């Protein structure tokens, strides 16, 4: 990603590229270069200059014929509830590791 010294400099870079929008990843890299912990300040600054933020793309999950109609037991964030005494659910250890 491109690193800038200020929000204004990044805005000039966008104008030089004939762009009126920016992505969250770009705002995050500018915030990191400026030493901010969050990109919210950069996003507010760029919107004040008249730029607009592109919406974030949601990762697609494709269901197939082999996918269960009850996505509770399969896939990301699922809770394996078969077998065992159930102490995992009671103790708060249910779900994926990591």
**What does the pLDDT average to over 70-74?**
58
pLDDT at 22: 93
Instruction: Tell me the average pLDDT across 43-49.
Output: 91
User: pLDDT confidence of 57, banded at 50, 70, 90?
Assistant: confident
DSSP state letters, 48-98 = HTT-EEPPPPPPP----TTS-S-TTSSSTT----SSS-SHHHHHT--S---
pLDDT category of residue 19 using cuts at 50, 70 and 90: very high
Residue 88 has pLDDT above 60, yes or no: no
pLDDT band at 85; cut points 50, 70, 90: low
């Amino acid at each position: 990603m491109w690193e800038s010294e200020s929000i204004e400099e990044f805005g000039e870079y966008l104008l030089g590229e004939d762009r009126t929008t920016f992505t969250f990843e770009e705002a995050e890299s500018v915030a990191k270069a400026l030493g901010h912990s969050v990109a919210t300040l950069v996003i507010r600054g760029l919107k004040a200059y008249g730029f607009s933020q592109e919406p974030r793309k949601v990762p697609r999950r494709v269901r197939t014929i082999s996918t269960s109609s009850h996505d509770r037991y399969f896939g990301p964030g699922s809770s394996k509830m078969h077998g065992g005494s159930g102490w995992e659910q009671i103790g708060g250890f249910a779900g994926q590791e990591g």
